[in-house]
Amino acid sequence: MIRDTPEVKYLVLVDRAVPFLLARVRWPDVAQAVSEASPIWIDDPGLFDLPYEPSAVAVSYDQAATLAAGWGSRLDALVTADAPSYIRRMPANWSDLSPSERHTWGVDFVGRKRGTSPRLFLHELAARTGGRSSAQATRAGAARRARAIVDRVATNGHGSKHGAAATAAERRSYVRVELAGRAHIRSGHTTLSAGLVDLSERGVRCVLPDARAVVATGATLEGPFLLEAEVGAARICLNVGGAVSWNRTNGNGADFGVAFDELAEGERDGLKLLLRRVA
């Protein structure tokens, strides 16, 4: 478990669940953001409005650090007075970015109909799926072995076999796709970082190397979920909670499954697109 840094708020904006802007905000002295196309922190007073934007997703320090590192930036860099500034001529509206904002952050693709933008991880993931390194292949093999462990699906509160069968049938109705990588799950003021094994529209399966850190069956996880695939450094951010549906310890650590709460339309679309690309 990694403790959040309380002084600064970290927020992301997403398009079809794909993060495209990461901000750090602390009134009245910190208002900076980076993106994949613009990995240098830029001062923007309009970011002070971001914590009140309904579409903004609050993430933990660990989740923000992972995202920043994937974009070639650093989260632990001190806020400096000589950081470049974005001089805006209108109030910020983060749900409807202006052409100037799109240009500054290099996010012209956001909110527009498209196939897959070269900046988005889905394009990169599709292009590189067939080119795994030997290390990636080894980890993928470990993921396949982890999948062989039989799921212990949680029954209803009375232990009904009918309830267990219904839950199992529901889980099987969603295709699981092997997706080795890392899962960074926020719950309260902590972040759980685990190995990513497989993913479906219903939930995610993870593994912890330390069996002592096993997550109890029935435990709720507030989210968001930042899922990072090894292939193509793909990332998706699901602003949703979940519940641990099962867990199992073995000699290699602890496996556990999480059932997602109801996904928003954009998150569902992004997840479906990812699953189609890697299936």
Give the model confidence (pLDDT) of 197-230 as tens digits.
999 999 999 999 887 777 889 999 999 999 998 8
d(CA 12, CA 110): 13
Give every CB contact of residue 250 below 8 A, 6+ residues apart in sequence.
149, 211
d(CA 7, CA 132): 40
> What average pLDDT score do residues 76-95 get?
80
- Mean pLDDT of the chain, nearest integer: 79
Percent of the chain with pLDDT over 90: 54
Structural domain boundaries of the chain?
A: 2-112, 123-278
Q: What is the largest CA-CA distance in the chain?
A: 64
pLDDT band at 63 (very low <50, low <70, confident <90, very high): very high
pLDDT band at 5 (very low <50, low <70, confident <90, very high): low
pLDDT at residue 252 greater than cutoff 70:
yes
Give every CB contact of residue 253 below 8 A, 6+ residues apart in sequence.
207, 208, 209, 210, 211
Instruction: Report pLDDT for 4.
Output: 60
d(CA 9, CA 25): 5
- Containing 143, the helix (H) or strand (E) segment is helix 134-147
pLDDT band at 116 (very low <50, low <70, confident <90, very high): very low
pLDDT at residue 3 greater than cutoff 90:
no
Residue 47 vs residue 156, higher pLDDT: 47
278 alpha carbon, distance to own chain's centre = 17
> What average pLDDT score do residues 268-277 get?
88
3-state DSSP assignment of residue 119: coil
pLDDT at residue 61 greater than cutoff 60:
yes
> For residues 205 and 276, is the Cβ–Cβ distance under 8 A?
no
Query: Which amino acid would we find at residue 168?
Result: A
Instruction: Report pLDDT for 271.
Output: 92
**Which CATH superfamily hosts domain 123-278?**
predicted glycosyltransferase like domains (2.40.10.220)
Give the model confidence (pLDDT) of 139-180 as tens digits.
444 444 344 333 333 333 333 333 334 334 444 567 899 998
Instruction: Report pLDDT for 253.
Output: 83
Encoding tokens for residue 74? 């650093």
Supply the angle between the helices 121-128 and 265-278 in degrees, to the nearest 10.
10
